[in-house]
Amino acid sequence: MWSCSPWAFLPLTYSVCTAAGLWLVYLLAVESKSIAPLGLRQWKKNESLYPPYISNAGDSPPASCIFSLVMNLAAFTGFIIGVLRYLQLKHRLNTPWLNMCSVLAFSGSCVGMTLVGNFQNSHFGHVLDVGMGLLFCWIQSFLSLKAKVMNEGKKVGILRFFLSGSITFCMILTFFLMSQGIYIHAARCQWALAMFFLVFLGTFTVEFGHYRFLLECTENPGNPVRLQENLPEVTVTEPNQM
């Protein structure tokens, strides 16, 4: 009988809590009349309210305080998820460099999250967050089919390719609408992009449910601290060392 690992709740909790935090920031920003609501039909440059981009929502207090907290926690927890995913696939792939590129790309995305959270109008932070995050999504979609963790590869791989395509489409559409001056629709696409990305990260709950990650510490100076993963009902144990 298959028993779900408690680590399965980490990606799911991350996605739900981050999404809830971002929408709370949006509601506070609309309530304080810092940004225009997403339901507005049209937004013009001469209006007093800013268009409802995610960074604009977190640009003024009190929303800015919560926005910084949400983005910093999301970056920290997201980095942990990225490292655990790297360890999970470490001994399952014949292309370790691709797995390394994946964790490096997501690390860059997490750095971008902290920059956006603390410097809301940081264009460099936006490029890192969205660009590196998108690269991570496409690599992980491919690795999902290659690794086939507990025969879940095809099921989640197809879903992740769909989500990666949706994120790419939203990103291209956002920049196109911004260049055309259609800011309210561009903001909606940006919010959709963020939600698709969080859903993508939440899908890791499928594979994490088959693994247990144990942190082992010893007083012997000759043995480093290591993170060991155990498969619950598999005859082969795959230890990872860090």
For residue 210, give the nearest of 1, 5, 50, 17 by alpha carbon.
5
Dihedral over alpha carbons 145, 138, 163, 208 (to 10 degrees): 50
Which of the pair, 235 or 49, is modelled with greater confidence? 49
Per residue in 93-132, pLDDT tens?
Answer: 888 899 999 999 999 999 999 999 998 777 888 999 999 9
- What are 1's two structure tokens? 């009988």
Q: What is the mean pLDDT of residues 196-204?
A: 96
> Does pLDDT of 2 surpass 70?
no
The burial of 238, by beta-carbon neighbours within 10 Å (0-12 exposed, 13-18 middle, 19 or more buried), is given as: middle
Q: What is the mean pLDDT of residues 130-153?
A: 87
User: pLDDT confidence of 223, banded at 50, 70, 90?
Assistant: low
Percent of the chain with pLDDT over 70: 86
* Cβ–Cβ under 8 Å, residues 54 and 122: no
Distance CA 163, CA 137 (A): 8
For residue 203, give the nearest of 150, 157, 143 by alpha carbon.
157
> Does pLDDT of 242 surpass 70?
no
- What value, to the nearest 5°, has the Cα angle with vertex 140 and ends 55 and 75? 35
Per residue in 87-99, pLDDT tens?
Answer: 988 888 888 899 9
Distance CA 17, CA 195 (A): 12
Per residue in 26-75, pLDDT tens?
Answer: 999 999 988 999 988 877 776 778 999 999 998 888 899 999 999 999 99
Task: Look at residue 28 in the predicted model and tell me its pLDDT.
Answer: 95
Task: Look at residue 48 in the predicted model and tell me its pLDDT.
Answer: 76
Helix (H, G, I), strand (E, B), or coil: what is residue 149? helix
User: pLDDT confidence of 238, banded at 50, 70, 90?
Assistant: very low
Q: What is the mean pLDDT of residues 8-34?
A: 95
Q: What is the mean pLDDT of residues 213-241?
A: 53
Q: What is the mean pLDDT of residues 216-240?
A: 51
Distance CA 51, CA 189 (A): 12
Domain ranges for the chain, please list them.
Answer: 7-210, 211-242
pTM (whole model) above 0.75: yes
Task: Look at residue 46 in the predicted model and tell me its pLDDT.
Answer: 60
